[in-house]
Amino acid sequence: MEIIEHITNIFSETFGEKPAHIARAPGRVNLLGEHVDYNDGFVLPAAIDRATYVAFSPTDSDQTTLLAADLNQRASFSTQTIQSKTETDSSPLPDWAHYPAGVMWALLEAKLSTQAMNAVYASNVPRGSGLSSSASVEMAFMIAWQTLGKWILPAMQCALLGQKAENQYVGVNCGIMDQFASACGVENNLLLLDCRSLEWKTIPLPSDVAIVIADTMVRRKLTSGEYNKRRAACEEAVRLLQKDLPHIKSLRDVSVEDFNRFVGKLPEEVSKRARHVVEEIERTSQAESLLEAGNIQHFGKLMNECHASLRDLYEVSCPELDVMVRIAQYLDGCYGARLTGAGFGGCTVNLVALEKAKKFAQTLAEGYQSEAGYQPEIYITRASRGAELLV
């Protein structure tokens, strides 16, 4: 594979020997259950066939040196500098290095060994487009340190440590879905995760159905404020609904019926946000039996409803995402289309009859370009395996 050759060559040029190991960890796409992970709901992601690859070798010094090939940047840190988020020369650790360094930090917190290493990594998961390039970097380094430390943790525990790294070291308040999907992916399967109990199961995707990801190429900056506002609205809804429904701990515990009974007591904006969450959790609970019965048609309708809800109730869409989804939903072979990830830009996910997928991708690209004025990137992808050591 090209990307493996690329990092192997850079490793040899930089460190004067071939790398001892190669690890990979995929990005992910979520098919249903958006903005419900932090409300204890269900999510339905799949690991995709795009991944971060890291070439690495242990070193005798106590200094870990990383080279991010895609950024052409280098950073060095050690167990001594990790707390202060500095490099070994005392300069501040660059932002991109917080992801792998955060993994080292989380492992140290968990009293697991973090053997110093030399590493070169690169990825074909697009950055910041909602396919979770960050979790793929974290999980790739998790495998690297696990390999060198010879400790073994269940994949879900690795995911939780990756999430801790991103929450507490990088400072991004993400849920568990991204790291979970990257760590636990199964070929040709969707993963149904209960974000409260962390129980999960696989659901096979029929072999004649393709997952098509369409990148609008629009990236919104400063969306973390909007994200935090949505989280706060959900918390407020729970607080207010608890007066009538004292048993509820999160929106997960509110049925659609109960919600409709008490929604009048919520302020307008809070009620819209909470309605999305309550109805989306209901949609994901229908999804399991639909998929198990092979009813992709009906499942696709739930994806379309999800998009409308994210657009009108949760208000995390943007004109480009709406254009991409609207065009897709009219195309031949498309079962369902919606924005995926946090929103405000990034990608849509589409379920498409496999034999129609190429034509779908082409027509969607042309339609989007003529309406939105940007050339999109479209990936026909497959549900793939989770993080693993390749060599």
Residues identified as active-site: 178
Q: Which is nearer to Mg ion, 98 or 338 (CB)?
A: 98
Residue 350 to residue 8: CA distance in whole angstroms: 34
Strands (E), 266-346: 334-339
Q: Which of 214, 215, 207 is nearest to 336 (CA)?
A: 214
* 64 in contact with Mg ion (CB under 5 A): no
Partner from Mg ion, ligand ADP, none binding residue 5, C-beta < 5-8 Å depending on class: none
**Residue 278: helix, strand or coil by DSSP?**
helix
What are the structure tokens assigned to 256, written together?
């659609």
Partner from Mg ion, ligand ADP, none binding residue 144, C-beta < 5-8 Å depending on class: none
**Residue 348: helix, strand or coil by DSSP?**
strand
| Beta strands at 209-215 and 347-353: parallel, antiparallel or unpaired | antiparallel
Q: Which is nearer to ligand ADP, 26 or 333 (CB)?
A: 26
Residue 251 to residue 2: CA distance in whole angstroms: 45
Smallest gap, in angstroms, from Cβ of residue 138 to Mg ion? 9
Q: Which is nearer to ligand ADP, 139 or 212 (CB)?
A: 139
Binders of Mg ion among residues 127 to 156 (CB under 5 A) are 132, 134
Q: Are 212 and 168 in contact (CB under 8 A)?
A: no
Q: Are 329 and 304 in contact (CB under 8 A)?
A: yes
Partner from Mg ion, ligand ADP, none binding residue 363, C-beta < 5-8 Å depending on class: none
Find the part of the chain contacting Mg ion (CB under 5 A) among 115-123, 126-134, 241-249, 356-364. 126-134
Q: Are 116 and 64 in contact (CB under 8 A)?
A: yes
Smallest gap, in angstroms, from Cβ of residue 137 to Mg ion? 9
Continuous H helices in 242-383: 256-262, 268-292, 296-312, 319-330, 357-372
Q: Which is nearer to ligand ADP, 30 or 250 (CB)?
A: 30
Smallest gap, in angstroms, from Cβ of residue 178 to ligand ADP? 7
Q: Which is nearer to ligand ADP, 51 or 254 (CB)?
A: 51
* 52 in contact with Mg ion (CB under 5 A): no
- According to DSSP, residue 288 is labeled H
Smallest gap, in angstroms, from Cβ of residue 283 to Mg ion? 24
Chain residues in the site for ligand ADP (CB under 6 A):
52, 68, 70-71, 95-96, 99, 122-123, 127-134, 137
Partner from ligand ADP, Mg ion, none binding residue 361, C-beta < 5-8 Å depending on class: none
Partner from Mg ion, ligand ADP, none binding residue 96, C-beta < 5-8 Å depending on class: ligand ADP
Give the number of other Cβ atoms within 10 Å of residue 119's Cβ.
Answer: 25
Smallest gap, in angstroms, from Cβ of residue 103 to ligand ADP? 12
Residue 104 to residue 186: CA distance in whole angstroms: 26
Q: Provide the CA 361 distance to its chain's centre, in angstroms.
A: 22
